[in-house]
Amino acid sequence: MKLITRDTDYAIRALAFLAKKEDRTISVSELVRVLRIPRPFLRKIMQILNKKGVLLSQRGIGGGFKLAASPERIFIMDIIQIFQGSSSLAECLFKKTLCPDRPACPLRKKIDSLENYVFSELKKTTIAGLIREGGKSWPRERS
């Protein structure tokens, strides 16, 4: 059970950094240096976000990435779905098959309720909201 994978975490941090830089185009090199995300992972993540329309890319000297939309319109659940597909907090497995008691299981009902709450909150949470909550120090920039 992993709600946020490494790629999703890196993507959210990169998007937040770009949002704080407003409309400036930021190079992958700068993102790697400041966020301390390994270059191969970050390049792949940025290419995926560009392909999905979350980022705009510019090639050549002074090239890099910037947000394709306002940070108020980039929702965390959308980023999770890009990198993780449909998510589930827990699967009920018994010897590699779905548990036969799943429909009547009181624990499953509780997990489903919690999952619905978590995902509804993530659907409302934006990059801009995370920046507001994290303040000037988030995402942490390192020199």
pLDDT of 72 above 90: yes
Residue 93 lies inside a defined structural domain of this protein: no
Residue 104 lies inside a defined structural domain of this protein: no
Phi-psi region of 138 (alpha: psi -120 to 50; beta: other; left: phi over 0): beta
Sign of torsion over alpha carbons 11, 12, 14, 19: positive
Q: Mean pLDDT check: name the lowest of 13-27, 48-62, 106-120.
A: 106-120
Residue 120 lies inside a defined structural domain of this protein: no
Residue 142 lies inside a defined structural domain of this protein: no
- Consecutive H or E run containing 56: strand 55-58
Residue 103 lies inside a defined structural domain of this protein: no
CA distance 19 to 15: 6
**Which tens digits make up the pLDDT trace of 112-137?**
899 899 999 999 999 999 999 987 77
Q: What is the pLDDT of residue 138?
A: 79
Residue 112 lies inside a defined structural domain of this protein: no
Q: What is the pLDDT of residue 60?
A: 85
Which tokens in the block code for residue 98? Answer: 């779905």
Phi-psi region of 64 (alpha: psi -120 to 50; beta: other; left: phi over 0): left
Total residues found in the chain within this entry:
143
Residue 54 lies inside a defined structural domain of this protein: yes
Q: What is the pLDDT of residue 61?
A: 86
Point out which residues pair with 55 in neighbouring strands.
67
pLDDT category, 100, cuts 50, 70, 90?
confident
User: What is the domain range of residue 34?
Assistant: 6-88+126-137
User: Average of pLDDT values for 62-86?
Assistant: 94
CA distance 28 to 26: 7
Residue 74 lies inside a defined structural domain of this protein: yes
Residues 6+ apart with CB under 8 A from 62: 25
Q: Mean pLDDT check: name the lowest of 93-97, 107-111, 115-119, 134-138.
A: 93-97
How many domains does the chain fold into? 1
**For residue 56, what is the domain's CATH number?**
1.10.10.10
